[in-house]
Amino acid sequence: MATVISNERLGDGVYHLVVEGGNGGAMGQFYMLRAWGAYPLLSRPLSIHQVNDNGVDFLYHVVGEGTEILAGLNPGDSLELEGPFGTGFPKVEGKVALVGGGIGIAPLYYCAQELPDSDIYLGFSRESFRTDAFRPLAAELTVDVGGLILDSVDFAAYDHIFVCGPHPMLKAAQLKRIAVETSGKRPNVYLSLENRMACGIGACLVCSVSCKDGQRKACADGPVFLAEEVLFHD
Amino acid sequence: MIKTSATIAGVHFKNPIVMASGTFGFGREYGKLYDVSLLGGISGKGLTLHAKAGNPGVRVYETASGMLNSVGLENPGVEAFLAKELPYWETLDTARIVNLGGNTLPDYVLGAELIQRDADARLLTGKKAVDMIELNISCPNVKEGGIAFGVKTPAARDVVRAVRAATSLPLAVKLSPNAEDIAEMAEMCEAEGADAVSLINTISGMKIDVRRRRSVFNNLYAGLSGPAIKPVALRMVHQVARRVTIPVIGMGGITTATDIIEFIMAGATVIQVGTYNFMNLRAGSTLTEELQQFMAEENISSLDEIRGIV
Ligand SMILES: Cc1cc2nc3c(=O)[nH]c(=O)nc-3n(C[C@H](O)[C@H](O)[C@H](O)COP(=O)(O)OP(=O)(O)OC[C@H]3O[C@@H](n4cnc5c(N)ncnc54)[C@H](O)[C@@H]3O)c2cc1C
Ligand SMILES: Cc1cc2nc3c(=O)[nH]c(=O)nc-3n(C[C@H](O)[C@H](O)[C@H](O)COP(=O)(O)O)c2cc1C
Ligand code: FES
């Protein structure tokens, strides 16, 4: 059990939830959240936005039933937290770019804290949020609203690039990596995938990801994968 | 002292709570969250002779009180299971059930033979072997095999007969709610020498994405599980338990101790818990506690007192 410390609305359907409880975690890991009884049936996966002194922060976008319930939580309310789960971003050395699209910026805040001096790229389709929180953590901060944030990132300039965002953005990042590889540069591009999950711990196989070496589990082997490992089918 | 144990074909279940195939992996992941040896048993992820990648596309969708899955029997294959997962199972104090699926009849038979040979070898060296095979003729999510065998009794009879001949291990046959006549199917299993029947597997269902004007699943249909199917499952367990003398392993939508009691009252010897494992990652430990508590409250000293009383 965890307790809501605050649940602040940041903008259009975006909330910052701070809870007391949980078991910390590493960059790119996630928790399964549940603030209801039997229904909705499944718990919801949310990335660790930040590990605070007594618990964890989440940044989430209201898209449906579950996140709507989360949005109604008030300080003092309790919720169930299972985690941290998953294999997140590696602790790397070298020149790092953190690239987030929309709510995909959520896990990158913790990365920014753990990897100071990273260049941070945040892209939004309509309105930006949390950019002021990122600013002091970035070597350089690039914010884009309405365009394609990946266009601003020179893949050849980095040793490691962490990407989290909508599906088309992840595919585009994979293609961009292939393009830059032909010019002799080989940045390690890491993608954080958001497959639908049921158990979150690696037991049910509904989150399966097709990879070069066979099927992997988004919840346990991922959610973070090297871009060249993932086979995007659609 | 409250007695919750049961025996099926010589296999001891310390309590009636068995984890259902496909929802519990091989127990390792849940084993990190609680002591899975407190369970009555574990039915492992459905295996096929060779490894299977499962279905592409979306594999899960929530419904009113349930979920649809289209995993499509992704699994490591029988041999990899025996080499990599069974050694873990050896460390557990719970009934070990292998769930065996197949694409073709020879696949089922070869799979059962491999499991039998492994069990023979283990028993010779004093190691723990698989306790039971649960033959899955009812997966709705694979095109060949699976459900194709589980709907019509004559087709199912061929598989059950061939697998029965291939193994002397206790054999439960897992039935599909999509069977034309599930009670007739169960009678056939008993006649062919099965030691138990387990039911139900998921119910074939569908979800359409109206904006994209297509099913959300690449395979069109998917398997419905969870509380939504409990009334159907309970009725089928009741029907089948009246028609066969072999034990019935009942499942479908169980999430509480009273759900367990309902299935036992309908005639089940032990039960399985599937989807609830996703709603509560500690389902096994929650349910074992709740069951003891409920039985104490209701002055039930043994599940034998209430089995099949309805
Ligand atoms: C590892 C991981 C980390 C995530 N981190 C965040 C985060 O930090 N912030 C955030 O806002 N969102 C995050 N998501 C997406 C988030 O889980 C979904 O937006 C949320 O589950 C939607 O639930 P709902 O009930 O509001 O929507 P509904 O549409 O009502 O949900 C129905 C079902 O679809 C699933 N689902 C819907 N959208 C998604 C999606 N985009 N990804 C995965 N499953 C989905 C739900 O979990 C649920 O099972 C993450 C997803 C994953 C897999
Ligand atoms: C994700 C998922 C995967 C499943 N995989 C298998 C399987 O491999 N073999 C099998 O016999 N049943 C499989 N099932 C069916 C369950 O074992 C069980 O029969 C069914 O879900 C009904 O029980 P429940 O309502 O408690 O989940 C699966 C079910 C789910 C939800
Ligand atoms: S969500 Fe169950 S295996 Fe990944």
pLDDT tens-digit profile of A126-166? 999 999 999 999 999 999 999 899 999 999 999 999 999 99
Low-confidence ranges of chain B (pLDDT < 70): 139-148
Kindly list the residues from chain B whose CB atom is less than 8 angstroms away from the CB atom of residue A214: 53
Place of tokens 């005639």: B267
Task: Return residues 132-171 of A near B (CB < 8 Å).
Answer: none
Cα(B310) to ligand 3 centroid in Å equals 38
User: Band of the pLDDT at A227, cuts 50, 70, 90?
Assistant: very high
Number of residues that make up chain B: 310
Q: What is the pLDDT of residues A6-18, one digit of tens each?
A: 999 998 899 999 9
SS3 A30: strand
Q: What is the pLDDT of residue B11?
A: 97
Give residue A181's pLDDT band: very low, low, confident or very high (50, 70, 90). Answer: confident
DSSP state of B298: T
Taking the centre of ligand 2 as the mean of its atom positions, its distance from the CA of residue B120, in whole angstroms, is 29
Which residues of chain B does A196 touch, with a Cβ-Cβ cutoff of 8 Å? 58-61
Residue nearest to atom 47 of ligand 1 (CA): A44
B279 interfaces chain A, CB cutoff of 8 Å: yes
pLDDT higher than threshold 80 for residue A83: yes
Is residue A184 predicted with pLDDT exceeding 90? Answer: no
Measure A43 CA to ligand 1 centroid, in angstroms.
9
Active site residues of B: 139
pLDDT of amino acid B80: 96
CA distance B205 to B196: 27
Distance CA B172, CA B164 (A): 10
Q: Which of A1, A201, A207, A233 is most worth mutating to test chain B (most B CB atoms within 10 A of its CB)?
A: A201
Nearest CA to ligand 2 atom 14: B22
Closest chain A residue to B66, measured at CA? A41
Please name which of B232, B270, B224, B284 lies closest in space to residue B65, comparing C-alpha atoms.
B224
**Residues on chain A touching B24 (C-beta within 8 angstroms):** 203
Does A199 contact B227 at a Cβ distance shorter than 8 Å?
Answer: no
Q: Which residue of B has its CA nearest to A34?
A: B279
Contacts of B71 in chain A (CB under 8 A): 204-206, 208
Query: CA nearest B282 in A: which residue?
Result: A82
**Does the beta carbon of A44 lie inside 6 Å of ligand 1?**
yes
Q: How far is CA A215 from CA A94, A190, A197, B88, B252, in A?
A: 30, 18, 15, 22, 28
- Burial label, B292 (beta-carbon count in 10 A; 0-12, 13-18, 19+): middle
All residues at 6 or more sequence positions from A72 whose CB lies less than 8 Å from its CB, including other chains: none
Contacts of A207 in chain B (CB under 8 A): 59
CA A205/CA A209 separation, integer angstroms: 9
Q: Give the pLDDT score at A180.
A: 86
pLDDT value of residue B102: 86
Specify whether the CB–CB gap between A1 and A78 falls below 8 A: yes
Ligand nearest to the CA of A69: 1
* CA distances (Å), origin B264, targets A101, B20, B249, B258, B270: 52, 16, 9, 10, 7
Given an 8 Å threshold on Cβ–Cβ distance, is B277 in contact with A199? Answer: yes
Residue B291: phi and psi, rounded to 5, are -65, -45
Which residue of B45, B47, B60 to mutate against A (max A Cβ within 10 Å)?
B60
Instruction: Answer whether B189's CB lies under 8 Å from B179's CB.
Output: no
Helix B182-191 with B230-243: angle, nearest 10 deg: 40
Q: What is the pLDDT of residue B139?
A: 61
Tokens encoding B191: 């006649």
| Nearest chain B CA: its distance from A139 CA (Å) | 39
Ligand in closest contact with the CA of A61? 1
Task: Please report the atom of ligand 2 found closest to the CA of residue B255.
Answer: 26
pLDDT at B143: 52
Q: Does ligand 2 lie within 6 Å of residue B254's CB atom?
A: yes
pLDDT digits (tens, 9 = 90+) for B58-115: 999 999 999 999 999 999 999 999 999 999 999 999 999 999 998 888 999 999 999 9
Q: In this structure, what token pair is assigned to residue B234?
A: 């309970």
Q: What is the mean pLDDT of chain A?
A: 95
A46 Cα: distance to centroid of ligand 1 (angstroms): 7
How far away, in angstroms, is B8 Cα from ligand 3 center? Answer: 31
Selected for mutation to probe chain B from A1, A33, A41 (highest B CB count within 10 Å) is A41
